[in-house]
Chain A
């Protein structure tokens, strides 16, 4: 026990032994998460949080450490997006009150569940939110990929939804020049609140924030992505700070993830230049779907730990191995698909150049 440290924190502070194999797994996890993150333009939390939980890290500590990791990465990314003019600071600042309230509410609920139900209850709550959010997202992206393949993309759909939200005339109505939209502040605050709540609960905020800005506010995709990164700096810093107050952040985890993720982000960013958009979305849907399955398979074990269900130790072990296998196989396959697509595109490029040469 560490002296002068809250009792809850002491319970989780020595959560995982840092030995050679856990160091390697965390660096590899960081690299996979970083590559997918750089490639898909998301934070990578959908793979990093379940990945850490599969290694035995309590969910609340995985979320706290992941928010801290995301904050540093967002800081570097937001700087780049700022230079490219992809950030609507007015929109971002308008969302901040809702965003931070959402993060605060999520941290409060997570800590309350941890205090009353312990690690198993907290892991169960985080896993249920994960499964709900990630399954809907995977299905939505797959539907989108199918439509694109069939050539049935309705670009006007997003503007129609945005027009409906722009008709809500509850004052104050604000015009956002960079995002080129005029909308009620209440709609903006609501999106901020939902994004903050998910960021604080499972570390995944951009998956709600970016589509909401695009579909509900009519913001262009690049501005939505840049503004979301700008917001991730604040939600990450505030979430990291709030979780750290009770010892739910392990800086060792954060630093080990960085070792792999910062290199991975650059590799993923290079890949986006080569691989086409449909392939990007297909990889995203596969990885997100398997992450959801990873958490779904872990749920019976948490229910058993809480005495709501009886499962024998062999089955519990089998479920744990199956859930880790699915997650890591999905993530590694995603990275392999990216590398194969890069290789194929390069070969096609050389073949084309060869054919055009006299």
Chain B
């Protein structure tokens, strides 16, 4: 169980890091694409992906060190 949690945390951490690097490397292109009615929704999509990836990663890491809040 511990090993599984470690593996999940590492995987999520790598995925979060990749999204961060991609956003910061292509910020001008992303800003250009996001402006305008049909594509502004892409911004919301990026936020959902990052919030979930990073949020779940932090939860997993806290569970590994036994300090995840229960509420």
List A residues at the B interface (Cβ < 8 Å): 2-6, 9, 13, 18, 38, 68-69, 71-73, 75-76, 80, 84, 237, 240-241, 244-247, 249-252, 254-255, 258-259, 262-263, 266, 269-270, 272-273
Contact = CB atoms under 8 A, between A and B. Distances in A.
Given A246-B35, A251-B30, A262-B58, A76 B43 contact: no
Contacts of B48: 72, 75
Interface in B19-71: 20, 23-24, 27-28, 30-32, 34-37, 40-41, 43-44, 46-48, 50-52, 54-55, 58-59, 62, 67-69, 71
Contact of B59 (A13, A244, A255, A266): A266
A258 B54 contact: yes
Interface residues of B, number: 31
* Chain B residues touching A, majority SS: helix
A251 B46 contact: yes
A241 B62 contact: no
A262 B24 CA distance: 19
28 contacts: A2-B28, A4-B32, A4-B35, A5-B35, A38-B69, A69-B47, A72-B51, A72-B55, A73-B51, A75-B51, A76-B52, A237-B44, A241-B44, A244-B44, A249-B43, A251-B27, A251-B47, A252-B24, A252-B27, A255-B20, A255-B23, A259-B54, A262-B55, A266-B58, A269-B71, A270-B67, A270-B69, A273-B69
B71 A247 contact: no
Nearest to A270: B69
A266 B41 CA distance: 28
A223 B23 CA distance: 37
Contacts of B31: 2, 5, 13, 247, 250-251
A266 B35 contact: no
Contact of B54 (A3, A252, A262): A262
Contact of B35 (A9, A237, A240, A273): A9
B24 A240 contact: no
